[in-house]
């Protein structure tokens, strides 16, 4: 096991209950959309990644990162995702995130569509068709 890998509690253990509940709802969505996903807690990044394998940038498509009053649902290739609802934020070369403040957004169709698009882009880029 790599040193950057840890447990869910290493990442979310000190977060407020609201943040933990949001993270749990988002993780449930990610797991439901890909029951075979590989989930890696990365305490050094203060995030939990979800993907086709343990490699962060090449195999993961999404991550959850706790914030003071929300959870950032991030996408490693988010700059290349369709986002008709305008949920994505960020200015990096490839990464984007959605600031999730409530469960309504966590369960919304536009957010679900982003996750599915991220999964498909990652699958195609990784040759996992």
Give the pLDDT confidence of 7-37 residue by residue, as tens digits: 999 999 999 999 999 999 999 999 999 999 9
| Confidence bin at 128 (pLDDT 50/70/90) | low
Give the per-residue pLDDT at 4: 54
Residue 127 has pLDDT above 60, yes or no: no
For range 103-115, the mean pLDDT: 96
Work out the percent of the chain whose per-residue pLDDT is above 90.
81
Count the neighbouring beta carbons within 10 Å of the beta carbon of residue 78. Answer: 25
Per-residue burial over 81-91, b if 16 or more Cβ lie within 10 Å, else e, is bebeeebbeee
For range 59-73, the mean pLDDT: 96
Collect all residues with Cβ–Cβ distance below 8 Å to 119 and sequence separation of at least 6. 33, 34, 61, 62
């Amino acid at each position: 096991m790599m040193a950057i890998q840890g447990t869910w509690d290493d990442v979310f253990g000190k977060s407020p209950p609201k943040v933990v509940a949001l993270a749990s709802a988002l993780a449930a969505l990610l797991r439901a959309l890909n029951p075979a996903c590989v989930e890696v807690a990365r305490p050094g990044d203060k995030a939990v990644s979800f993907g086709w394998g343990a490699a962060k940038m090449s195999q993961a498509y999404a991550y959850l990162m706790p914030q003071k009053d929300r959870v950032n649902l991030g996408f490693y290739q988010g700059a290349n995702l369709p986002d008709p609802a305008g949920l994505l934020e960020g200015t990096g070369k490839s990464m984007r995130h959605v600031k999730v403040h409530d469960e309504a957004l966590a369960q919304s169709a536009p957010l679900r569509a982003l996750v599915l698009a991220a999964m498909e882009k990652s699958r195609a880029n990784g040759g996992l068709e």
